[in-house]
Structures are given as C-alpha cells and as structure tokens.
A = this chain, B = another copy of it.
Amino acid sequence: MAVYTELADEELDAFIRGYDLGALLSVKGIAEGVENSNYLLSTEKGQFILTLYEKRVDPADLPFFLGLMEHLSTRGINCPLPVHDRAGRALGGLAGKPAAIVTFLSGVSVRRPRVDHCGAVGRALAQLHQAADGFALTRPNALSVGGWRPLYEACAGRADEVQAGLSAEIEQELDFLEAHWPRGLPAGVIHADLFPDNVFFLANRLSGLIDFYFACNDMLVYDVGICINAWCFEPDAALNLTKSRALLNGYNAGRRLSPEEVAALPLLARGSALRFLLTRLYDWLTVPEGALVVPKDPIEYYKKLRFHRGVSDARAYGIDP
C-alpha cells in the first residue's frame, strides 16, 4: 500500500481537464498497489483510478501494461480499461511522473480465500491466458529464473539476518532450479502477480482482475504455480489440497493443462515460491527510510518453497500427472 506523491491542486485540475471526464468531485489517495501511487477519482462521469508510476516501474514498459489492459478488456476480461485523453493518449504525465487514468472496478478482495474463490481464480486465470492471445507487444519476465541470482546477490550477504542458514539454502535452490528449469512449454502473456489483493469478488462471484504491472511473457503454467502459492496455503504454511484442486480444476475447465505442463507444475510452483522469497527478502533488507510500506514477510515464501521441494509429482496439488 502506498501513496508516494502529493498532488498540487492546479496541476491535478489541469491534468483532469485533459480528459473528457467532467469536473473533479473528489480525489483520495488509496492504499492499493505497492509499486505506484494510486488515487480514487470521482468526476462528473463516475469513478476512476489515477495511477502515478513511481520509480520502480520502467516507463518503457507502460505501453505494454496499458495496451494489455485494453486488449484484455475488449476481449471480455473485467479489468481496468485505460481512459484516453482528448488527444487520444492512454499515458500522460503528472507531477513529473508518467500517469494514467483507468476505469474503476467494483468488488472487494478477499483476505482469507475459500475453496470457491480458488476455483473462480483458476477459471479467471485460464480466461486471461486465452484472452491475452494475439496481444502484439511482448515483455520478457525479468523475475523468471534468469533474474533470481542477481536479485539474490543484491542481498546475499544479509539473508542470514532474516533466518540463519537462509543464504546457503537459497544458493542450493538457485543451482537446482537453473539446472532443471523447463523449456518449450506453452507460453504467452501471464499476470504474474494474481494475489488475492488483485482479484475482486461481488456476491461471491469473481468480478474483476487488477494490477497488471508485473504482466509479462512466460510459460502459462508458471502463472498457475504463482496462484497456487498465493491462494492455496493456510496461515500455518500448509497446502490446502482442496483449494489447489479447485484452482486447477477451474483452470482446466477454461484451458486444459497438457501432460507436460502438469509434470512441470511442482518445479514451477517451487520456482515461483523462490521468486517471491527473493523479492520479499530484497524489500525486507532494503526498505527505504521513511517508506510508507510495511514489507511483507519473506519467511512465508521460504516455508512454501520447502513444501514444493518435498513434492514428487503434481498429485500433491490435486491433479493427476
């Protein structure tokens, strides 16, 4: 959660006048999204989200993110739709930063997902993967296997501050995953961050997906692994098999995983646990002075990583290999 940039009145007014949204009625900084500053706008035309892209987002990636939301939205995915300004641009500038306005989605994210939520997320993920097909732009996944070692090295000397022995264990894990990472599986655009925060429900039905700022091209089943980690573990770090089975069944109902994808799932879920362990570890060790963000606990993902390491095949997640 973050609001990093204070907006000056005159500048905000001038920015809003560049759009066909009518007068600004209200603006509230909202605690949503770790990477950017987000504001909920009310205007005469309704509610919108204004996002200022802070320094962790590469401006060169913004056409990919905004274009993807537009592509998905026109293909029936309920996600934020970038609003174009009077000159037809989806990307503008405010307070010296890139900025965009997107439509507001109703819905409430769940803190403690139930089995039915997991099933719905599996279905939505398959729909997203299929709707993204044909999107013209590509963006390599900087947080896939090739990106993990540099991230680890940026904080390696201090990993043991978080837990004794963590450095050595991560190094072994990196060696193993780099040697065994699969190739040639079906690939496309993945969300790459479909955590409960980023999924809205209304009356127990999935009503929308948000936060496409990690989306990239990668193996589709890697996204499934991320969702198993994000949705199917209990607070005591044990996998809830009923939830992962529901998620996988939901996914399969929309897009059937191939036998090769199912076989690769344990390794990809393990890799995705390492990815979140590493980014959380980095954030934990480098949280800036005065940050408005409480970093997330890396150890949660260490425990998930250990679970996946002990898995021999995808039956452990509730799907037959």
Q: Point out which of A7, A12, A40 has the most chain B C-beta atoms below 10 A from its C-beta.
A: A40
Flag if A8 contacts B111 (CB, 8 Å): yes
**Chain A positions 152 through 186: 1 when the CB is less than 8 Å from some CB of chain B, otherwise 0:** 00000000000000000000000000000000000
Flag if B112 contacts A8 (CB, 8 Å): yes
One of A20-28, A136-144, A215-223 at the interface: A20-28
Q: Which A99-147 residues have a C-beta within 8 angstroms of B? A: 104-108, 110-112
Flag if A106 contacts B292 (CB, 8 Å): no
A1 beta carbon closer than 8 Å to chain B: yes
Q: How far is the CB of A3 from chain B (nearest CB, A)?
A: 4
**Chain A positions 212 through 234: 1 when the CB is less than 8 Å from some CB of chain B, otherwise 0:** 00000000000000000000000
User: Which one, B6, B32, B111, B202, contacts A6 given CB within 8 A?
Assistant: B111
How many identical subunits does the complex contain? 2
Known contacts A294-B290, A294-B292; A111/B3 CB under 8 A: no
Q: How far is the CB of A41 from chain B (nearest CB, A)?
A: 10
Question: Nearest chain-B residue to A3 (Cβ)?
Answer: B31
A60 beta carbon closer than 8 Å to chain B: no
Collect the chain B residues with CB atoms within 8 Å of residue A30's CB.
28-31, 40
A87 beta carbon closer than 8 Å to chain B: no
Collect the chain B residues with CB atoms within 8 Å of residue A107's CB.
25-26
Collect the chain B residues with CB atoms within 8 Å of residue A25's CB.
106-108, 202
Q: Which A21-62 residues have a C-beta within 8 angstroms of B? A: 23-32, 40, 42, 47
A9 beta carbon closer than 8 Å to chain B: yes
Pairs A-B, 10 closest by C-beta atoms: A29-B31, A25-B106, A28-B30, A3-B31, A9-B110, A26-B106, A292-B292, A9-B111, A8-B111, A30-B30
Flag if A203 contacts B23 (CB, 8 Å): yes
What are some 24 contacts across the A-B interface (CB < 8 A)?
Answer: A3-B31, A6-B111, A8-B111, A8-B112, A9-B108, A9-B110, A12-B108, A23-B202, A25-B106, A25-B107, A25-B108, A26-B104, A26-B105, A26-B107, A26-B108, A26-B200, A28-B28, A29-B31, A29-B32, A30-B30, A30-B40, A42-B106, A290-B294, A292-B294
